[in-house]
Structure 1
Amino acid sequence: MKKGFLILLFFVTMTNLTVFSQVTFGVKGGLNMTDINSSTIHNYEKNNNGFFFGPTAKIALPLGFGIDGSLLYDQRSAKVETDIIPIPLYSTTIKQQQIVIPVNLRYGLGLSKLLEVYIFAGPQFGFNVGDKTVSTNYEDWDFKAAQLSVNIGAGATILNHLQVSANYNLACSESADQSIKDSVYPKILGNGKMNAWQISLGYFF
């Protein structure tokens, strides 16, 4: 219910702002390079590739400011390797799949009629649409139903249509609880956050 309400609110907000601002719609996609942060003692291989894609919109405001928002399918993965014994065990790939809604405030500077550079920052709301639990060789990752993160980055718009950007997505809430079912150990071992460096390419109609 909450997921559907936020998605509806996103589209209603974008539609209403067209009355007051110049709105441009498009599509975007890109790569995730996952940087996993865990509170447990295990080792993790970083910068595993993932991807995202979906519709996007940007709203022009006065004085070079603007707002952009997207509705994206986002997939991230990371290889987990446990060394508690302390011999490393087999690595396991965990995967997080979400529908994400980033909403960013941006400031752009036109260098010419063909090129604009900009910086942006803002919150991102994520909703899990993949597996609720992913098992590794030692523990389970129990993914949260919803997650809050923030974006900060920079980009460029070329010929008023093509947009390239790079940003870091920092998880503000836990992506998953890390638990073990063996009765000898506590059930909850800790938690993990799946941050990501992101590179994207978009086209506005």
Structure 2
Amino acid sequence: MKLLKIISTNVLLIGGMLSFSTQKAQAQSDGSFNKAGFGVKGGLNYATITKGDFDEGPDARTSFYVGATAEIPLIDDSFSIQPEVIYSRQGFERNYSFLGSDYTAEYQLDYINVPVLAKLYIVKGFSIEAGPQFGFKINEKIDLDAGDDDEGNDLDEVNDFDMGLAAGLTFQFDGGLFINGRYNHSFNEVIKDSDAKNSVIQFGLGYKF
């Protein structure tokens, strides 16, 4: 939570110092910072859960996300609201031993995430975004031998709804291509009666039409 407070503080401080001084000069020479439109995005997830009540912290599950994004400019060409709908493959891995052999169990937790972000342009093309994220679980399985061809066994240990905070950075190139890095963290517990929360680092590409 300290990291999230630091990110939020930096958004306000940096935006207050730089946005006003750079906005008019950039807008006059290069046009608006932000433009209304839709886009698509996708990339890698590095997902895990916090330790919570588990004896040991879990390892990360590496997978992917893909979805759609929109941008709605509001104030002075430097501030937008950015809603998204993202299919996100999350979860975690845990090591275990059985009959003298070591295995890795992969907990596959897939969500439809709906972040609603405040997006602040610092300079043309470069923005900071942060806001609430609402997650709806659509898949919950465990693969007791991660990496094999088994699709896994269904579970019913994970809460259906996940609410958290998303914060990140985006750089948009001329022509619509953009790169994005983001961190997502849950407010509520993921696994029932565990106090463990989703923790996801994302990095990917997108295209804004």
With the length of structure 1 as denominator, give the TM-score of the two structures: 0.71
Distance 1:55 1:43, change over 3 A: closer
Among residues 128, 133, 144, which one is paired with 1:119 in the alignment? Answer: 128
**If each structure's helix is expressed as a fraction of its own residues, which one has the higher value?**
2
Q: Displacement of 1:25 after TM fit?
A: 0.7
Contact 1:30 1:198 in 2 (8 A): yes
Secondary structure of 2:139 counterpart: coil
Instruction: Note the 1:9-24 alignment, pairs <5 A.
Output: 23-24=36-37
What residue is the counterpart of 1:25 in the other structure?
38
1:82 and 1:151 map into 2 onto residues whose CA distance is 32
What residue is the counterpart of 2:159 in the other structure?
144
**If each structure's strand is expressed as a fraction of its own residues, which one has the higher value?**
1
Q: Displacement of 1:75 after TM fit?
A: 0.5
What residue is the counterpart of 1:184 in the other structure?
none
Is 1:193 matched with 2:197?
yes
Secondary structure of 2:54 counterpart: coil
Please list every run of 5 or more consecutive structure 1 residues that lacks an aligned counterpart in the other structure: 1-20, 178-187
Among residues 170, 178, 182, which one is paired with 2:185 in the alignment? Answer: 170
2:83 and 2:44 map into 1 onto residues whose CA distance is 18
Among residues 81, 87, 109, which one is paired with 1:67 in the alignment? Answer: 81
Q: For residues 105-145 of structure 1, what are the alpha-carbon distances to aligned partners after superposition, in whole Å with 9 as ceiling and x for unaligned?
A: 0100334xxxx1010100110001102x64869xx771111
Q: Displacement of 1:191 after TM fit?
A: 3.7
With the length of structure 2 as denominator, give the TM-score of the two structures: 0.69
Contact 1:80 1:136 in 2 (8 A): no
1:43 and 1:163 map into 2 onto residues whose CA distance is 34
What residue is the counterpart of 1:103 in the other structure?
116
Is 1:128 matched with 2:137?
yes
Secondary structure of 2:131 counterpart: strand
What residue is the counterpart of 1:50 in the other structure?
63
Number of aligned residue pairs: give it.
164
What residue is the counterpart of 1:41 in the other structure?
55
Contact 2:115 2:132 in 1 (8 A): yes
